């Protein structure tokens, strides 16, 4: 999943075009992660030092780790640590881009540093992101600090990601959330939670993605947003909210669901809230969470 | 199981759930009639007109919710067999369903074989 986030970041920053990114993603599975890339990612070495060792390897038949220790860039413990993470695969995209000649080590180092800076990630958070830790991904992309229901919103989103994987069989990529003032839905299905917590939830998408979600959940192949597709997206939200309510109930909260409504090209009237973009294979949709 | 044809009434506001549940029942029971309703009001009317052997009832619906519909069907026929089928399986909802007179509670999504087993148990 990290490859999707980092790949999308490189694309948005104009550091790579979509054709080359697609090519590098295809190449990932057969790519061998090299120690130099891991050392840069871990912050133990910079690109110039890695290049220096690569040059040295053209002269002496020694392994990268061996030379790095000899030149005092790495300790033996650091080499062992990097070797143990060599198979995690989280940086395979970066390695594939380098192998294809689409990025230099320096460009990868700068991009990784900028990525961490842009999302205010320390090394621990970045590590969690690389290992597809859903909670960290949500904390990184959805800034909930100001929300009075921070914990509930976070739990809701973590469960939602799991349910996309379970019921839509997709690995979603989360984008930076939007305030609702900047949000104009095309198709949407909305359902309210009432009781100890009052929350309006909605799934919103353009026709193509709405159709994709509906077909995926229903296991059907409709060609337009008909009643079956609308009821399928609505049922997916209902199912997710139902599981969430069971979790809330287990935590001692008394909550209930209202029936879902599906609409097109009408304003989604709610209290203050936000829309979280989710990227699927077919396009983007938003999950809306707001007060009522 | 009653000899001959069985009649099952499905009540759910979701067209998808009605379609999938109908397919599931028709796959397991060849000699059956499946009726469906999208809200509690329509379910009560269909129940009175057809006296089905078993009812699958959603809880959260517009017009009339499932718990109220179960209470009304039960007051019309105390012997009616009704299975609640809901995405919300909290203790509160379970308790309400049992108090209203539901025979069983199924949390969506149902598992493979679960619907057939429930029908066989209900009509044994």
Q: Verify that A111 and A10 share a domain, yes or no.
A: yes
Q: Verify that A118 and A206 share a domain, yes or no.
A: no
Chain A residues inside the 8 Å CB shell of B19: 228
Residue A86 confidence (pLDDT) above 70? no
Cβ pairs A/B, distance under 8 A: 54
Q: Where are the beta strands (DSSP E) in A164-241?
A: 173-174, 178-179, 187-195, 199-205
Instruction: Name which of A23-37, A59-73, A92-106, A233-247 the model is least confident about.
Output: A23-37
Contact predicate A195/A255, CB 8 Å:
yes
Q: Verify that A181 and A278 share a domain, yes or no.
A: yes
Predicted pLDDT of residue A126: 77
Among residues B59, B53, B62, B14, which one has the least CA distance to residue B32? B53
pLDDT band at A12 (very low <50, low <70, confident <90, very high): confident
Q: For B63, name the nearest residue in chain A, comparing CA atoms only.
A: A259
Predicted pLDDT of residue A140: 77
Q: Which CATH number is A154's domain given?
A: 3.40.1550.10
Predicted pLDDT of residue A63: 85
Chain B residues inside the 8 Å CB shell of A262: none
Start-to-end Cα distance in chain B: 5
Predicted pLDDT of residue A187: 95
Cα separation, A86 vs A98, whole angstroms: 16
Domain end position, chosen among A91, A110, A136 = A136
Contact predicate A158/A276, CB 8 Å:
no
pLDDT by position in tens, chain B (length 124) = 666 789 999 999 999 999 999 999 999 998 999 999 999 999 999 999 999 999 999 999 988 999 999 999 999 999 999 999 999 888 888 899 999 999 999 999 998 899 999 999 998 8
More confident residue, B22 or A171: B22
Chain B residues inside the 8 Å CB shell of A249: 90-92
Contact A238 B14 (CB under 8 A): yes
Q: Verify that A190 and A131 share a domain, yes or no.
A: no
Neighbour-count burial for B44-64, b at 16+ CB within 10 Å, e otherwise: bebbeeeebbbbbbbbbbeeb
Cα separation, A121 vs B107, whole angstroms: 40
Q: Verify that A157 and A204 share a domain, yes or no.
A: yes
Q: Verify that A148 and A128 share a domain, yes or no.
A: no
Domain membership of residue B90 (yes or no) is yes
Q: Decide: residue B78, CB within 10 A, 0-12 exposed, 13-18 middle, 19+ buried.
A: exposed
Mutation pick from B12, B15, B105, B109 vs chain A, by most beta carbons of A within 10 Å, is: B15
Q: Verify that A281 and A151 share a domain, yes or no.
A: yes
Q: Verify that A166 and A211 share a domain, yes or no.
A: yes
The C-alpha angle with vertex A177 and arms to A40 and A258, in degrees rounded to 5, equals 140
Give the structural domain span for B100. 6-122
Maximum pairwise Cα distance, chain B: 37
Domain membership of residue B1 (yes or no) is no
Q: Which CATH number is B117's domain given?
A: 3.40.50.2300
Which residues lie below 8 Å from residue A235, measured CB to CB, with a gap of 6+? A217, A260, B14, B16, B17, B87
Cα separation, A231 vs A187, whole angstroms: 12
Domain end position, chosen among A108, A136, A164 = A136
Residue A228 confidence (pLDDT) above 70? yes
Number of domains in chain A: 2
Cα separation, A249 vs A255, whole angstroms: 7
Number of domains in chain B: 1
Contact B16 A245 (CB under 8 A): no
Give the structural domain span for A178. 144-290
pLDDT band at A96 (very low <50, low <70, confident <90, very high): confident
Judge whether A257 is closer than 8 Å to chain B, CB to CB.
yes
pLDDT band at A1 (very low <50, low <70, confident <90, very high): low
Nearest to A231 among B14, B62, B88 (CB): B14
Residue A3 confidence (pLDDT) above 80? no
Predicted pLDDT of residue B1: 63
Q: In chain B, positions 4-23, which contact chain A (CB-CB < 8 Å)?
A: 13-17, 19-20
Residue A58: other Cβ atoms inside 10 A: 7
Domain end position, chosen among A136, A159, A176 = A136
Q: Report the sign of the C-alpha dihedral through residues A112, A115, A117, A119, in that order.
A: negative
Contact predicate B88/B59, CB 8 Å:
yes
Q: Verify that A111 and A18 share a domain, yes or no.
A: yes
Neighbour-count burial for A206-231, b at 16+ CB within 10 Å, e otherwise: eeebbbbbbbbbbeeeeeebeebbbb
Judge whether B109 is closer than 8 Å to chain A, CB to CB.
yes
Distance from CA of A292 to the nearest CA of B (A): 19
Cα separation, A26 vs A20, whole angstroms: 10
Contact predicate B9/B46, CB 8 Å:
yes
| Cα-based distances in Å from A114 to A117, A120, B12, B76 | 5, 9, 51, 69
Neighbour-count burial for B106-116, b at 16+ CB within 10 Å, e otherwise: bbbebeeeebe
Chain A residues inside the 8 Å CB shell of B60: 238, 256-259
Contact A231 B107 (CB under 8 A): no
Task: Tell me what the mean pLDDT of segment A100-110 comes to.
Answer: 88
What share of chain A in percent tops pLDDT 90? Answer: 36
Domain membership of residue B16 (yes or no) is yes
- DSSP letter at A143 equals -
- DSSP letter at A181 equals G
pLDDT band at A196 (very low <50, low <70, confident <90, very high): very high
More confident residue, A101 or A281: A101
Among residues A149, A263, A238, A161, which one has the least CA distance to residue A198? A149
Q: Pairing between strand B32-37 and B6-11?
A: parallel
pLDDT, averaged across chain A: 86
Judge whether B95 is closer than 8 Å to chain A, CB to CB.
no
């Amino acid at each position: 999943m990290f490859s999707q986030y980092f790949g999308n970041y490189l694309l948005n920053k104009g550091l790579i075009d979509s054709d080359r990114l697609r090519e590098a993603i295809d190449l990932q599975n057969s790519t061998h992660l090299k120690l130099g890339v891991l050392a840069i990612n871990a912050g133990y070495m910079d690109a110039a030092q890695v290049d220096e060792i690569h040059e040295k390897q053209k002269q002496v038949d020694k392994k990268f780790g061996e030379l790095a220790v000899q030149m005092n860039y790495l300790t033996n413990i650091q080499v062992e640590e990097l070797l143990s993470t060599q198979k995690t695969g989280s940086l395979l995209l970066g390695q594939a881009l380098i192998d294809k000649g689409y990025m230099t080590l320096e460009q990868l180092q700068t991009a990784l540093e900028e990525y961490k800076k842009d999302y205010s990630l320390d090394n621990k958070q970045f590590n969690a992101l690389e290992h597809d830790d859903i909670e960290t991904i949500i904390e990184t992309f959805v800034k909930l600090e100001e929300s009075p229901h921070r914990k509930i919103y976070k739990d809701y989103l973590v469960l939602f990601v799991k349910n996309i994987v379970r019921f839509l069989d997709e690995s979603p990529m989360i984008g930076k959330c939007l305030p609702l003032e900047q949000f104009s839905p095309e198709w949407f299905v909305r359902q309210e939670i009432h009781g100890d917590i009052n929350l309006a939830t909605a799934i919103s998408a353009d026709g193509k993605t709405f159709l994709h979600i509906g077909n995926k959940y229903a296991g059907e192949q409709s060609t337009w947003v008909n009643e079956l597709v609308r009821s399928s997206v609505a049922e997916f939200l209902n199912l997710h909210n139902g599981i969430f309510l069971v979790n809330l109930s287990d935590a001692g909260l008394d909550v209930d669901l209202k029936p879902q409504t599906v609409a097109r090209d009408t304003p989604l009237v709610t209290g203050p809230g936000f829309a979280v973009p989710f990227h699927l294979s077919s396009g983007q949709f938003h999950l809306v969470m707001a007060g009522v | 199981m009653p000899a001959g044809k069985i009649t099952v009434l499905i009540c759910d506001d979701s067209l998808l759930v009605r379609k999938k549940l109908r397919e599931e029942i028709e796959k397991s029971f060849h000699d059956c009639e499946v009726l469906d309703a999208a809200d509690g009001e329509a379910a009560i009317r269909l129940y009175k007109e057809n006296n089905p052997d078993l009812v699958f009832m959603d809880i959260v619906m517009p017009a009339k919710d499932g718990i109220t519909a179960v209470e009304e069907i039960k007051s019309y026929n105390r012997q009616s067999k009704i299975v609640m089928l809901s995405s919300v399986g909290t203790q509160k909802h379970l308790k309400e369903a049992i108090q209203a007179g539901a025979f069983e509670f199924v949390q969506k999504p149902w598992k493979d074989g679960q619907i057939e087993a429930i029908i066989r148990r209900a009509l044994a």
